[in-house]
Amino acid sequence: MTTTSPRVTAARAHPAPRLRPASRSTRNRNRAAYTLVLPFFVVFTAMLVVPLGYAAYLSLFKSQLIGGQVFAGLDNYVRALTDPAFLGGVGRMAVFLTVQVPVMLGLALFLALALDSGRARGAKALRLLYFMPYAVPGVVATLMWGYLYGPDFGPIAQAFGALDLTAPDLLSGRTILFSMMNIVTWEFVGYNMIIMYAALRSIPGELYEAAEIDGASQLRIAWSIKIPAIRPAILLTVIFSVIGTFQLFNEPSLLDSIAPNAISNGFTPNWYAYNIAFVNQDVNYAAAIAFLLGLVIAVVSYVVQLRGQSAQRKGS
């Protein structure tokens, strides 16, 4: 004699409900959604995924006089990791990052706090004035500052000459990196200021009123309330600045014509990859450099993000 367990009996008595097929209107909505998203994926695949895949493929080969393109494996990557020009460019950008980025973001934060305090006259005009350099194309900005830096015809040199003083050579090998820092700072202070200012405007005004009732000064409010509240925005500007630093290209490529002795072919990693690909015609090695540069940017950005998140958790 066999016995049926209560669970089996209950399962037979109450079978699992069947899933209803999607209605025609739901299918039409899903089809319309996929149709609208499809062009983006097509462009994304054609303009980013396929070029990256092809570049990765090229980086695994090398060109020889006898035999043409031959498989090289990771030889191009090993060569880049021992290339003094590439490593020198990365080190130069590390100096650029540690010096220029804090100055630029500190100035942007100061301007954002000044505008948010409401004590600056003509705040709307000042906000537009600070942001205006970012609207100038990078090529135009570099050419303009290159003219200002000119040791023979530049206004800076002429002003020193009018005062019977020796003008500093702002395009020499010792100063060219700092001259580029000044150009990038002038270009992007307003951009970062707008990001921080927008974050400041989202803070509830009741917090300021409560702090003022407790007797907090504007400096104390800025340090204890405003800056901690906009840490995510500050972290975002730091990550953008890290990416922009290692991708520096316009400044060395345009200043090279007026300061050829100060700017080498490997002054920045991006400039070096360009010269390797289009001057030396070694696209395989250039592709490997580009991938290593992307890896450096990803690692540095990830470290910055982790440190920012840990600092935010400690602050909270």
pLDDT band (50, 70, 90) for residue 126: confident
pLDDT tens, 264-312? 999 999 999 999 999 888 999 999 999 999 898 889 888 888 887 777 6
Structural domains in the chain plus CATH codes? 104-281+293-315 (1.10.3720.10)
pLDDT tens, 78-100? 999 999 999 999 999 999 999 99
pLDDT of residue 17: 56
d(C-alpha 242, C-alpha 100), whole Å? 10
Q: How far is CA 308 from CA 47, 230, 313, 316, in A?
A: 32, 12, 9, 12
How many Cβ atoms from other residues are within 10 Å of residue 44's Cβ? Answer: 11
H helix intervals, the chain = 6-13, 24-44, 50-59, 75-81, 84-116, 123-135, 138-149, 155-162, 176-201, 205-213, 218-221, 227-229, 231-246, 250-255, 269-278, 283-315
pLDDT of residue 5: 54
Buried b (16+ CB within 10 A) or exposed e, 120-131: eeeeeeebeebb
How many Cβ atoms from other residues are within 10 Å of residue 294's Cβ? Answer: 15
pLDDT tens, 146-201? 999 988 788 988 888 888 888 888 999 899 999 999 999 999 999 999 999 999 98
How many Cβ atoms from other residues are within 10 Å of residue 70's Cβ? Answer: 12
Does residue 219 surpass a pLDDT of 60? yes
For the residues 249-270, what does the mean pLDDT come to? Answer: 91
Give the three-state DSSP class for 64: strand
